[in-house]
Amino acid sequence: MKKFNNVTLFASLGCPKWAKNFYLDTLFEWQSPTAGLQFLLNYSARQSDEISVFLDQDCILSTRIDELFSKFSKDVLLIGARDYWIVPKDYGPWQKEKIRNCHNLIHSSFMILQPHRINQLFGDSSFYDRRTESLEAYPEKAQREPYHGISFRALGRILYLEPRIHPKIPLLTSYEFDHTVYAWHAWYSSRTSGVNSSSVDGYPLSWLRDVRKIEYDFMMQVHRNTMLGSRFMTNESFS
């Protein structure tokens, strides 16, 4: 990477310690994940992409989402996972009744947008909004995220995918609409690699890694079923 002079890297809290050990903090510009989302959306708009789908690295699709594209209208600008869920039972370190209480906002792990239309309406900084900095607009300060700005801008014109916590596997969440599961999100799975501390956000690292193994097996099965379904549809279309 050192031979390039126009690289921008994105990290949640700036340049991480491991990167500083390789002097990457001085070689490259570092930006927030929200800046990365904004860059991708603006790039898609310049390419005249009709639809952009943002999906976390630990979130997988389990159902074709073409049908969701047809939901866009003058009344729907943004489609995504509602940033709101309650833990249904005590999962040990992940205790019952823990909640993300952002019921009218979208979580960035799964969003569907129309790049050109969003840029026309909100400009090229659509992920940012002063209301993400206002305690009066968003009292839950600990849960406020910079990327929520686009949710504030699109309020009243959002189609929500509802989150559902798996009844047996902690941290595993489905995103549903009209009784159809479109994606599964394995929270924290990608954050348990390369960690030197014994915990992440107060959760024991050993427990998170055990959960990751269970989530991985489950999501691999979802992937296999999805691939089989795709092959079946393809074969049917040629028969």
Mean pLDDT is lowest, of 13-22, 46-55, 175-184, for: 13-22
pLDDT of residue 237: 37
The rounded distance, in Å, linking the Cα atoms of 100 and 148 is 13
The rounded distance, in Å, linking the Cα atoms of 110 and 129 is 20
Confidence label for 233 from pLDDT (cuts 50, 70 and 90): very low
The percent of residues above 70 in pLDDT, for the chain, comes to 89
pLDDT of residue 235: 43
Mean pLDDT of 77-92: 93
The rounded distance, in Å, linking the Cα atoms of 106 and 152 is 9
Residue 32 has pLDDT above 50, yes or no: yes
Longest dimension (CA), the chain: 60
Contacts 24+ apart (CB under 8 A), 40-48: 41/113, 41/115, 41/118, 41/119, 41/126, 41/127, 42/115, 42/119, 42/124, 44/115, 45/115, 45/116, 45/118, 45/119, 45/124, 47/115, 48/116
Report in angstroms the alpha-carbon separations of 187 from 60, 72, 154. Answer: 12, 28, 25
Work out the angle at residue 85's Cα, subtended by the Cα atoms of residues 149 and 163, and round it to the nearest 5 degrees.
85
Per residue in 101-110, pLDDT tens? Answer: 889 999 999 9
The torsion defined by the Cα of 114, 116, 119 and 124, in degrees rounded to 10, comes to: 110
Per residue in 98-148, pLDDT tens? Answer: 888 889 999 999 999 999 999 999 999 999 988 887 655 555 554 678 899
Quick check: 207 and 199 in contact, CB under 8 A? no
pLDDT of residue 202: 85
Residue 234 has pLDDT above 50, yes or no: no
